[in-house]
Structure 1
Amino acid sequence: MPELPEVETVRRTLKNFIVGKKIQEIRVHYDKIITGDTNNFVASLTGQTIRDIDRVGKYLIFILDSQAFISHLRMEGKYNIVAASKSLNKHEHLTFAFSDGTELRYQDTRKFGRLELVNKETYRQDLPLCKLGPEPWDADSKEIYSKIHKSSLPIKTLLLDQSIMTGIGNIYANEICFRMKMHPATPGKRVSKKRVAELITVSKEILEQAIAQGGTTIHSFDANGITGLFQVQLQVHMQKVCPVCHGAITKEMVRGRGTYYCKECQKKKG
């Protein structure tokens, strides 16, 4: 699933290609990709020019003249920018045809992604974005501590809870726990105020490093053909040997999510 660094890479890439382009026609090839009324989505956006692309957590927000829509890529969503003459592939479910003869196509092998019209002026305060916690750069350690200090849930699970702190998914949660030398099953109530502050700092560092590398290319992620390179810097996720102690990396499920950690460097406490 694309996480914050991958979505940020998509945002930056798309801005270079489509900002300033006018939508001449919208063709929906799979209705369920649109949340809400499909006809209203098409009618509201046709004839509008894309002015900017914002991001909140893992959501993209396309800003147009008088409208806006959000896009959540979910598991395998991606955007392709192609010539109008190129044949539609079977996984491309939505086409924005621009007046210059190019097209932006939304591709999603598993059809889990969704697009939805939102209010251009208030989308950050409206659903679904208003339910998200702060991104690590905006997180206050006292507020994050207050959200987790009574929880018996594993810290790995809490890192994945987008209402606590948004943007972190499975890959980066594994990397954050490893860098902190914290066992991923450590209950939230066992994490001190000092460690919460460190958690935020480490989260920012890892996400910034991943953004600088264009994200992590695992399975099918790319941003219009631009693949991320952060996978070569992964310390624990999908690794076999710990880079610190050279012991074996363990993989097990933590509340249903595949979790990689080093039993020696990340000893469980409490």
Structure 2
Amino acid sequence: MPELPEVETVRRGLTPAMEGALLVRAELRRPDLRFPFPAGFAALVSGRRIISLGRRAKYLLIDLEGDDVIIAHLGMSGSFRVEEGRASDMPGDFHHPRGKDEKHDHVVFHLENAGGPARVIYNDPRRFGFMDIARRDTLTAHAFFRDLGEEPTGNVLDADYLAARFAGKAQPLKSALLDQKNIAGLGNIYVCEALWRSGLSPLRAAGTLVDAKGKPKKTLVLLTEAIRAVIADAIAAGGSSLRDHIQTDGTLGYFQHSFSVYDREGEPCRTPGCGGTVARVVQAGRSTFHCPKCQK
């Protein structure tokens, strides 16, 4: 599933074509994706100007005039592409097949912007993505968002914030980091990478990073800095683009070439002087990659 950096990459890629454009018509080529579209969805969004594009956790937010917001989730294989005139913004060489088979084009936003007509097309072979619409002033109470923790990109995410949530917890550290009530949008890939950068085992109890007074230990400070750094690096590199995910211009992200532990089972650890080997364990049904020698 695309993680936060991938969704942020999509948001940035769509912004030039969508922000300020008139959404002339929304074309739905099937009645549902993962869930049915809201009743009257196409009519509700058509004929309205797009004010801005935002993101919350792994959700793309398309703000419309009149204070309605389209909520889009990419699911496992969803992607957007932009077509302007006869040109399709999908150049480049690909390591994995692109989601460009028209039989999987399920939603088309027909736009009119300063450069003329354009189409933003949502393609989803597996149809695990979905779209919804809500009023802007109800988003914080919306079922998708009301229980989400802080973003790993904002200043609110610091060691004190995590200490308050980890204190006394016997839950494995990786599981605590994947809990969206603690950190919104942080997924399996970047948790593995952040734990490696901070030298912490995914298996240790989350509470061991907090002292008896509820204050963060140095290890938690280092972990918080690693989380923010790895997310920033991945966004700068255009996300990871594993398997189905592609950017809006069709090119793949390149952060996967910088993975230090994720999907590197049996390979040498990249920590200088470590000499260990990357191992894989399964936690809560997900693969965890780490170096047992230097991550404690």
Query: When the two structures are superposed, what TM-score results if normalisation uses the length of structure 2?
Result: 0.83
Between the aligned partners of 2:238 and 2:103, the Cα distance in structure 1 is 27
What residue in structure 2 maps to residue 264 of structure 1?
A: 293
Matches within 5 A, 1:1-270: 1-33=1-33, 38-66=38-66, 67-83=68-84, 89-99=102-112, 100-136=116-152, 137=154, 138-192=156-210, 193-194=216-217, 195-224=219-248, 225-239=250-264, 240-244=267-271, 245-267=274-296
Between the aligned partners of 1:241 and 1:32, the Cα distance in structure 2 is 45
Inter-CA distance 53–103: structure 2 relative to 1 (3 Å threshold): same
Q: Cα deviations across residues 157-206 of structure 1 (Å, max 9, x unaligned)? A: 11111111112111001001111111111111222222333222111111
Structure 1 runs not aligned, ≥5 long: none
- Do 1:31 and 1:38's aligned partners in 2 also have CA atoms closer than 8 Å? no
* Equivalent residue letter for 2:261: V
- Do 2:240 and 2:256's aligned partners in 1 also have CA atoms closer than 8 Å? yes
* Per-residue deviation, 1:38: 3.4
* Per-residue deviation, 1:55: 0.9
SS at match of 1:33: coil
Q: Cα deviations across residues 231-270 of structure 1 (Å, max 9, x unaligned)? A: 1211111122211224321112112111111111113xxx
- Do 2:79 and 2:123's aligned partners in 1 also have CA atoms closer than 8 Å? yes
Q: Cα deviations across residues 127-171 of structure 1 (Å, max 9, x unaligned)? A: 321211001222243332222223222111111111111121110
Query: When the two structures are superposed, what TM-score results if normalisation uses the length of structure 1?
Result: 0.91
- Do 2:34 and 2:127's aligned partners in 1 also have CA atoms closer than 8 Å? no
Percent identity (aligned): 30
- Do 1:34 and 1:116's aligned partners in 2 also have CA atoms closer than 8 Å? no
SS at match of 1:124: helix
* Per-residue deviation, 1:62: 0.2
Structure 2 runs not aligned, ≥5 long: 89-99, 211-215
* Per-residue deviation, 1:208: 0.8
